[in-house]
């Protein structure tokens, strides 16, 4: 039990910025296009209106799921006489919130390198899920390029 408390205290003391994700994106030509694309992604995800839009979608999703579950329960009550509301709609909302705060909210840096022109630029403020996706797909692409 004491070990778990020490582990929990250690995790709480670690700054989330220390766990920021970094990835390398190696390209061959089209450097300015790729840098502009990642810069625009950064501007979209760091805008306050984006956070407001996500909040509105979460609230509307919860309301529509609750209404749908209520209608289904009412229909079941009319048909069988036994209605069950259930809380399944809340589970998906919690799961979506965990994914949002775990992969979209934390931001990291992607390092873009053009091999043909020897250009480099780092773009920070990119959500972790995009860094992970871009980094993994670029590593797979680079593996095929190196094989050929």
Among residues 82, 84, 89, 83, which one has the least CA distance to residue 67? 89
Tell whether the model's pLDDT for residue 20 goes beyond 80: no
Domain assignment present for 14: no
Distance of alpha carbon 102 from alpha carbon 92, whole angstroms:
15
Domain assignment present for 35: yes
Q: Any alpha helices (H) in 14-148, and if so which ranges?
A: 31-45, 48-80, 88-99, 128-147
Predicted confidence at residue 113, as pLDDT, reads 97
Predicted confidence at residue 135, as pLDDT, reads 94
Domain assignment present for 85: yes
Predicted confidence at residue 13, as pLDDT, reads 67
User: pLDDT for 64-114, tens place per residue?
Assistant: 888 888 888 888 888 887 777 677 777 778 888 888 888 888 889 999 999
Query: To the nearest whole number, what is the mean pLDDT of the chain?
Result: 86
Domain assignment present for 6: no
Query: Which residue is it, tokens 């871009």?
Result: 134
Is this prediction's pTM over 0.75? no
Predicted confidence at residue 12, as pLDDT, reads 66
Domain assignment present for 124: yes
Residue-range definition of the domain harbouring residue 56: 22-147
Number of folded domains in the chain? 1
Predicted confidence at residue 4, as pLDDT, reads 84
Tell whether the model's pLDDT for residue 9 goes beyond 80: no
User: pLDDT for 44-69, tens place per residue?
Assistant: 988 889 888 888 988 888 888 888 88
Predicted confidence at residue 14, as pLDDT, reads 65
pLDDT band at 15 (very low <50, low <70, confident <90, very high): low
The secondary element (H helix, E strand) that includes residue 4 is: helix 2-13
Among residues 118, 115, 95, 98, which one has the least CA distance to residue 106? 98
User: What residues contact residue 135 under an 8 Å CB cut-off, 6+ apart?
Assistant: 23, 24, 25, 110
Q: Count CA atoms within 13 Å of residue 82 on its CB side.
A: 0
């Amino acid at each position: 039990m004491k070990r778990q408390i020490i582990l929990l205290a250690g995790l709480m003391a670690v700054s989330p910025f220390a766990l920021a994700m970094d990835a390398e994106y190696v390209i061959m030509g089209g450097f300015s296009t790729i840098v502009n694309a990642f810069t625009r992604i950064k501007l979209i995800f760091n805008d306050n209106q984006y956070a407001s839009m996500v909040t509105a979608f979460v609230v509307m999703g919860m309301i529509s799921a609750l209404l749908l579950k209520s209608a289904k329960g009412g229909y079941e009550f009319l048909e069988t006489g036994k209605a069950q509301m259930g809380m399944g709609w809340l589970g998906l909302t919690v799961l979506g919130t965990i994914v949002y705060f775990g992969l979209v909210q934390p931001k990291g840096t992607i390092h873009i390198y053009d091999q043909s022109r020897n250009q480099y630029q780092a773009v920070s403020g990119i959500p972790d899920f995009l860094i992970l996706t871009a980094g993994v797909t670029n590593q797979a692409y680079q593996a095929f390029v190196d094989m050929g």
